[in-house]
Amino acid sequence: LPTRPVDRDKAEAELSLNVKKATSPDETAPKQKHVRKCIVYTWDYHSSQSIWASLRVQPILGDEVQTFKALILVHKVLQEGHQIVLKEAQEQIGWFETCSRTVGGESARGYSTLIRAYVNFVLAKLRFHRHHPEFNGLFEYEEYISLKNIDNPDEGYETIVDLMELQDQIEQFQKLVFAHFRGSATNECRIASLVPLVKESYGIYKFLTSMLRAMHRRTDAMDALEPLRARYNHQHHNLRKFYYECANLKFLTSLINVPKLNHDPPNLFDSPDA
Amino acid sequence: MSSLQNMSKSAMRVGKNYIKGYTDVQVKVRDATSNDPWGPSGQQMNELAQLSYNQNDFIEIMEILDKRLNDKGKNWRHVFKSLTLLDYLLHAGSENCVIYFRDNIYVVKTLKEFQYVDEYGKDQGANVRQKAKDITNLLQDEARLREERRSRAHMRERMTGGSND
């Protein structure tokens, strides 16, 4: 299937090792090299089944750090893996729910609340993708447009509302992650979960900006768009604050560029090149 | 790294090339993307770009390039130099290079979070991340890539066929 020079048997054997290492019990970020192998695998073979199978085989759920790392791994593979992963993940909802259920109320290292919130977020993301299969995992606008092959934002009102809903979920979850930082620790493992959240929220933000601008260009009923504008502006300020806090986390800025938003939200009545 | 160490390393590479049965073309790619702290030279890259117009040589080049791009953090130079070479091939190599990496863009795209901090605490992954970003953007911008390939070909024509002017 892939045009790359690959060896399927070797890939399968390595994959389960990569899943195992990405979800090791050390309270660190999942190593990117292992996460990357999982992502590349889904593109090579247009499948994520072996990843889910490996996650079930590993004794992950007995340990809160391992469970949390598994969720980070899965989130990244959903974002950057082949489109099929978003579809196949719909059959794994039971596994996510088990993650939530297995962690007790009180846990030694304080991950249980985070795990339940992460599961809630990923399930919301999966619901979104089920209703809007034309989006990729990172909400990349260019790919959406090339897929749809048209630029017709009028049909987008409901999509925009759903996207804003998801953006609010990210906002809730990231706040919880910050609230669970521990003064003494490096918090590396918790910070690692912010990486995919920064990327996803920015993808959604850019998408919303483009869609809303296009709608403003086309419609005569500016009043009808007022609620969307208000909510967009509100989310802009939240995001700006989120990115500002992320920019102060040295570990995070060594991994990705954190976007910097202007103080004021962009004017949706302007065309982007104005 | 001292030059003596480099010498013994390149001697090792010669031995490995022989034992593993790499072809001449593959040895050229391995040399261009080695762990030596210099290169790849313009001459090396140009030669490989020309070779990529031959179908057999193209496949051999891609085999090694793929291995190098997927190498581990410690060998960040392999990855970095492979991206350098890839960038050159996209501009001056055969159309097959473009098609191949558009199909396999995720190999490059997923290097945008490449990490390696060396024993002195220096973030050697930063260069890889930046180059992976640049090449991803180029691959996704069909019009720009077309234009850059055209102007490169035009320039080469003028430089090699200059006597006709």
Helix/strand number for chain B, H first, E second: 9, 0
Q: Give tens-digit pLDDT for A245-271.
A: 999 998 899 888 899 999 999 988 876
In three-state form (DSSP H/G/I as H, E/B as E, the rest C), the secondary structure along A75-132 is HHHHHHCCCHHHHHHHHHHHHHHHHHHHCCCCCCCCCHHHHHHHHHHHHHHHHHHHHC
Q: Of A273, A192, A201, A188, which Cα lies nearest the Cα of A240?
A: A201
> Dihedral (C-alpha) B16, B22, B23, B29: value to the nearest 10 degrees?
-80
- CB of B119 within 8 Å of a chain A CB? The answer is no
CA quadruple B127, B129, B134, B138: dihedral positive or negative? Answer: positive
DSSP A210-244: HHHHHHHHH-S-GGGGHHHHHHHHHHHHHHHHHHH
Contact A80 B123 (CB under 8 A): no
Chain B partners within 8 Å of A80 (Cβ): 106, 109-110
Q: Minimal Cα distance from A252: which residue of B? A: B113
Residue B110 has what DSSP assignment? G
Which among A40, A195, A254 has CB closest to B123? A254
Q: Reduced to 3 states, what is the DSSP secondary structure of residue B144?
A: helix
Contact A4 B109 (CB under 8 A): no
d(CA A3, CA A5): 7
Chain B partners within 8 Å of A3 (Cβ): 100, 103-104
Cβ–Cβ pairs < 8 A, chains A and B: 39
Contact by Cβ (8 Å): A27, A65: yes
Q: Reduced to 3 states, what is the DSSP secondary structure of residue A62?
A: coil
Q: Minimal Cα distance from B60: which residue of A? A: A5
Q: Looking at the predicted structure, is the pLDDT value of residue A2 above 60?
A: yes
Q: Give tens-digit pLDDT for A210-234.
A: 888 888 887 777 788 899 999 999 9
Quickly tell me which residue has 């399927």 as its tokens: A8
Residue A248 CB partners (closer than 8 Å, separation 6+): none
Q: Is A262 exposed, middle or buried (0-12, 13-18, 19+ CB in 10 A)?
A: exposed
pLDDT in tens, chain B (165 residues): 455 566 667 777 777 777 778 999 999 999 999 999 988 999 999 999 999 999 999 999 999 999 999 999 999 999 999 999 999 999 999 999 999 999 999 999 999 999 998 899 899 999 999 999 999 999 999 999 999 999 998 888 888 765 444
Residue A104 CB partners (closer than 8 Å, separation 6+): A112
> Dihedral (C-alpha) B106, B112, B114, B117: value to the nearest 10 degrees?
170
Give the CA angle between residues A120, A41, A92 to the nearest 5°. Answer: 30
Q: Looking at the predicted structure, is the pLDDT value of residue A170 above 80?
A: yes
**For chain B, how big is the Rg over CA atoms in Å?**
17
pLDDT at A150: 53
Q: Shortest Cα distance from A228 to chain B (angstroms)?
A: 31
Q: Shortest Cα distance from B153 to chain A (angstroms)?
A: 27
Contact by Cβ (8 Å): A29, A191: yes
Q: Shortest Cα distance from B50 to chain A (angstroms)?
A: 21
Interface of A with B (CB under 8 A): 2-5, 31-33, 36, 39-40, 43, 80, 82, 142, 195, 254-256
ipTM, two decimals: 0.86
pLDDT at A141: 77
Which pLDDT band holds residue A182 (cuts at 50, 70, 90)?
Answer: confident
Give the amino acid at B103: D
d(CA A248, CA B116): 21
